[in-house]
Amino acid sequence: MSKSFFLFLAALIVTCSPQEKPETEQTLASAYQDYFYIGAALNTSQYNGTDQRGIPIVKKHFNSITPENDLKWDRIHPQPNRFNFEEADQFVEFGEKNDMFIVGHVLVWHSQTPDWVFEDENGEELSREALLERMENHITTIVTRYKGRVNGWDVVNEALNDDGSLRESKWYQIIGADFIAKAFEFAQAADPDAELYYNDYSLFLPEKADGAVRLVKEIQEQGIKVTGIGIQGHYMIGGPSGEEVETSIKKFKELGVVAITELDVDVLPAAFQFMGADISMRADLRDELNPYTEGMPDSIKQAQIDRYTEYFEVFMRHRDAINRVTTWGVTDGDSWKNGWPVSGRTNYALLFDRQGNEKEVAKVLMELPSKK
């Protein structure tokens, strides 16, 4: 047999053999694409290109992003006449390049806001009018810069106490209760098309949920846009239950869109009897609070899978109102839960492990929609 005839035969065999069609790879975003966005909070190293472990995970599994810190007042507006847009610009460009739903976090918050915001040049407390002007300038500058590019804003964060009353923040003390409505008004004026959220933690507490409903309803009744409520979702394997979370979602649906904005499931022993996400609360490191430094025991892995599954089943039941489920970080190593409320712990709150592998819980969640 001549060599060329042999090559011809070999080519014929290859061409005629049935081609295996590669199955499209399942990702979190693709598993839920018909229902809601799957988002992640990113840190600077994920959009400035340095986190080579995290970036491929973000691009593969997520179709919405939130900046974990770079849009907070102390980062983006550190001094009265100085804005620092460098990281925020990189964040927005990363989202655009990867065709993602981009969330801006956060315009008005009692935390991570420098003291000068509330003071004049002599260190005296500002008047209501002066603080409102400062707030308007901050919101207008930032929202206008990213108009039509940032798709949704956390306009006001954590303005409620756990009993549903308004938190005595500087914003509240100086401006009064309408600082919240004003923030939404300024954001709406700067980008009328952006989604605008009120965002808070521990909203599974019935009194707090009722407080959020009262708050948002009152603003909407004034003709000011509030797209809906952002449920942060900093949860633990010990709870809240899916049922508790579901009860609050049902209340919030009446007002518009519901977004799950900062989901994580802490697996470590609780440092306090009751825990939300108040970052001023801290506890000292003790060995019994940090039991899994060498890895998660199987029983804890399973408890976390069960909790996440329970929550996602609830989210799927209310997919008509929920537009996004965002986890607060990408890998377990990135999570704020390693540092709060006790610093130096090894927690496993997210869906990807410290090496960047999909955890079993991620696989279970990817399978969940097709089981419905």
For the annotated catalytic residues, the residue numbers are 158, 262
Question: Which residues inside 77-136 make contact with ligand 9MR, applying CB under 6 A?
Answer: 112
Two tokens at 250?
Answer: 């049902």
**Strand intervals (E) in the chain:** 37-42, 64-67, 101-108, 152-157, 195-200, 228-231, 234-236, 257-266, 322-327
Q: Does position 165 bind ligand 9MR by CB under 6 A?
A: no
Choose which of 55, 224, 277, 330 interacts with ligand 9MR (CB under 6 A): 277
Q: Determine which helix (DSSP H) or strand (DSSP E) holds 181, and give its type and residue range.
A: helix 179-190
Rounded to a whole number of angstroms, the minimum distance from the CB of residue 266 to ligand 9MR is: 11
55-63, 65-73, 87-95, 358-366 -> range binding ligand 9MR (CB under 6 A): 65-73
Contact 305, 323 (CB under 8 A): no
Query: Which C-beta is closer to ligand 9MR: that of 106 or that of 215?
Result: 106
Q: Helix (H, G, I), strand (E, B), or coil: what is residue 242?
A: helix
Q: Does position 198 bind ligand 9MR by CB under 6 A?
A: no
Choose which of 279, 295, 297, 357 interacts with ligand 9MR (CB under 6 A): 279
Choose which of 61, 72, 182, 208 interacts with ligand 9MR (CB under 6 A): 72
31-39, 52-60, 66-74, 125-133 -> range binding ligand 9MR (CB under 6 A): 66-74
Query: Which C-beta is closer to ligand 9MR: that of 68 or that of 358?
Result: 68
Q: Does position 232 bind ligand 9MR by CB under 6 A?
A: yes
Query: Which C-beta is closer to ligand 9MR: that of 128 or that of 282?
Result: 282
Contact 232, 277 (CB under 8 A): yes
Choose which of 87, 185, 246, 262 interacts with ligand 9MR (CB under 6 A): 262
Two tokens at 42?
Answer: 């990113």
| Dihedral sign (CA 54, 56, 60, 64) | positive
C-alpha span between 205 and 289 (Å, rounded): 25
Two tokens at 365?
Answer: 């969640």
Nearest Cα neighbor of 328 from 269, 270, 279, 271 is 279
Q: Does position 324 bind ligand 9MR by CB under 6 A?
A: no
Question: Which residues inside 4-63 make contact with ligand 9MR, applying CB under 6 A?
Answer: none
Q: How many CA atoms lie within 13 A of 246 on its CB side?
A: 13
Nearest Cα neighbor of 323 from 64, 104, 62 is 64
Rounded to a whole number of angstroms, the minimum distance from the CB of residue 202 to ligand 9MR is: 10
Rounded to a whole number of angstroms, the minimum distance from the CB of residue 343 to ligand 9MR is: 11
Q: Does position 69 bind ligand 9MR by CB under 6 A?
A: yes
Query: Which C-beta is closer to ligand 9MR: that of 72 or that of 208?
Result: 72
Position with the least CB separation from ligand 9MR: 336
C-alpha span between 73 and 70 (Å, rounded): 8
| Dihedral sign (CA 42, 230, 228, 74) | negative
68-76, 91-99, 136-144, 349-357 -> range binding ligand 9MR (CB under 6 A): 68-76
- Looking at this protein, which amino acid is placed at residue 250? K
Two tokens at 118?
Answer: 């509330």
Query: Which C-beta is closer to ligand 9MR: that of 103 or that of 321?
Result: 103
Q: Helix (H, G, I), strand (E, B), or coil: what is residue 93?
A: helix
Query: Which C-beta is closer to ligand 9MR: that of 62 or that of 336?
Result: 336
Choose which of 91, 336, 348, 352 interacts with ligand 9MR (CB under 6 A): 336
281 phi and psi, to 5 degrees? -90, 130
30-38, 64-72, 95-103, 293-301 -> range binding ligand 9MR (CB under 6 A): 64-72
Cβ-in-10-Å burial (0-12, 13-18, 19+) of 20 comes to: exposed
Provide the binding-site residues for ligand 9MR, judged by CB under 6 A.
68-69, 72, 112, 157, 201, 232, 262, 277, 279, 336
